[in-house]
């Protein structure tokens, strides 16, 4: 991939250097956990608050998706896509496991709207939250007519599969095509279409270069505003490409020992996510720097999980043989 170079370069703020320092220290924490080191970090902000990993695929939900949803069941493309959409609609491990416990194998071949609806409704009626708080899902009521949004989401997934979604995915030639395809469906906007594109691309159904396309999310836009005082001739997507291209240069400039993912560089999706995370981090580290949202606090405190993660990535990345042990997040 050629470097993205335009005539008028962007101007950086103090948060720009923090972006690279954050990425380095967050990745250090990742490896310190794997190596079971007692001291994970001396950064109080990282100790006190919850932040995602430098690499999206290393996060707990993404790891569960890759190992338990995509690769640990039938590799029939229609079934793989159905499982991904069911899981990512709720984006919550507990919801998937409760569905499995009540329904059995999650598969489109035996899909029954009423059964899935009944299980999810009972969970909600018992006070269980079925959706993750990571992002907000639109209700879809205007398209499918149900008052409860999970019914609209189930209807959407069924509609997408029946609309020959899998055949359309296979006909896509790059990540941008896949993004546009997913965005063409009701209630799926830019953010969700990009996230679903990355998730589907973890599978064997397609093998697109993550460096070919990026779509900035709302949190990333806040982080970009904080890192760059002027954009020059670059737009927000350009700036994500700009930092991704320059990662080795910036780590060397700041004398940072960034440990990549067993030889895998940060990809566009990772640098997009890092902008979101540095937006949160800078609310405490650089409270004087304003973003688009004007948020001043980090909502989620860090709470360690006791269940271990044995890291495993899409086999096509060729890094799984490099992983030596498990960690706890």
- pLDDT tens digits, one per residue of 244-264: 999 999 999 999 999 999 999
Cα 273 from chain centroid (whole Å): 7
**258, two tokens:** 């960034």
pLDDT over threshold 90, residue 6: no
pLDDT over threshold 50, residue 328: no
Q: How confident is the model at residue 204 (pLDDT cuts 50, 70, 90)?
A: very high
The model's pLDDT over 153-186, given as tens digits with 9 standing for 90+, comes to 999 999 999 999 999 999 999 999 999 999 999 9
Cα 157 from chain centroid (whole Å): 20
The residues spanned by each domain of the chain are 11-55+213-303, 72-201
Q: What is the mean pLDDT of residues 77-95?
A: 97
pLDDT over threshold 60, residue 113: yes
User: Which residues partner with 327 through β-bridges?
Assistant: 309
Q: How confident is the model at residue 326 (pLDDT cuts 50, 70, 90)?
A: very low
For residue 146, what are the CA distances in angstroms to 150, 188, 197, 314?
A: 9, 17, 26, 36
pLDDT over threshold 90, residue 138: no
Q: Is 7 exposed, middle or buried (0-12, 13-18, 19+ CB in 10 A)?
A: exposed
Phi, psi of 215, rounded to the nearest 5 degrees: -130, 110
pLDDT over threshold 60, residue 131: yes
Integer Cα distance of 302 and 229 in angstroms: 30
Q: Is 294 exposed, middle or buried (0-12, 13-18, 19+ CB in 10 A)?
A: exposed
Q: How confident is the model at residue 306 (pLDDT cuts 50, 70, 90)?
A: low
pLDDT at position 136: 77
Element (H, E) at 81: helix 77-90
Q: Is 144 helix (H, G, I), strand (E, B) or coil?
A: helix
Integer Cα distance of 157 and 159 in angstroms: 5
CB 213 within 8 A of CB 175: yes
Name the percent of the chain lying above pLDDT 70.
96
Q: How confident is the model at residue 5 (pLDDT cuts 50, 70, 90)?
A: low
Residue whose C-alpha is closest to residue 58's, from 34, 41, 25: 34
pLDDT at position 7: 67
Q: How confident is the model at residue 135 (pLDDT cuts 50, 70, 90)?
A: confident
User: Residue length, the chain?
Assistant: 329
User: Which residues partner with 49 through β-bridges?
Assistant: 301
Least confident of 91-105, 119-133, 136-150, 205-219: 136-150
């Amino acid at each position: 991939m050629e470097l993205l170079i335009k005539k008028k370069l962007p101007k950086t703020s103090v948060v720009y250097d923090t972006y690279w320092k954050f990425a380095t220290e967050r990745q250090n924490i990742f490896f310190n956990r794997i190596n079971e080191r007692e001291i994970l970090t001396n950064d109080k902000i990282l100790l006190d608050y919850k932040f995602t990993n430098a690499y999206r695929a290393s996060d707990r939900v993404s790891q569960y998706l890759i190992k338990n949803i995509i690769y640990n069941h039938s590799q029939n493309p229609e079934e793989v896509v159905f499982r991904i959409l069911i899981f990512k609609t709720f984006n919550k491990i507990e919801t998937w496991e409760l569905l499995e416990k009540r329904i059995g194998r999650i598969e489109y071949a035996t899909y029954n709207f009423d059964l899935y609806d009944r299980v999810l409704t009972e969970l909600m009626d018992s006070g269980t939250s079925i959706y993750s708080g990571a992002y907000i899902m639109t209700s879809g009521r205007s398209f499918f007519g149900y008052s409860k949004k999970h019914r609209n989401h189930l209807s959407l997934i069924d509609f997408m599969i029946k609309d020959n979604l899998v055949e359309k995915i296979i006909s896509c030639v790059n990540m941008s095509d896949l993004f546009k395809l997913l965005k063409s469906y009701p209630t799926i906007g830019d953010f969700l279409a990009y996230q679903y594109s990355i998730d589907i691309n973890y599978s064997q159904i397609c093998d697109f270069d993550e460096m070919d396309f990026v779509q900035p999310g709302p949190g990333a836009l806040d982080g970009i505003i904080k890192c760059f005082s002027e954009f020059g001739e670059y737009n927000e997507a350009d700036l994500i490409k700009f930092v991704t291209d320059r990662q080795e240069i910036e780590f060397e400039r700041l004398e940072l020992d960034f440990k990549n993912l067993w030889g895998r560089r940060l990809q566009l999706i990772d640098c997009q996510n890092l902008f979101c995370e540095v937006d949160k981090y800078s609310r405490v580290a650089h409270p004087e720097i304003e973003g688009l949202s004007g948020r001043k606090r980090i909502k989620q405190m860090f709470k360690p999980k006791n269940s271990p993660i044995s890291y495993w990535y899409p086999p096509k990345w060729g890094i799984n043989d490099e992983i030596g042990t498990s960690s706890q997040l």
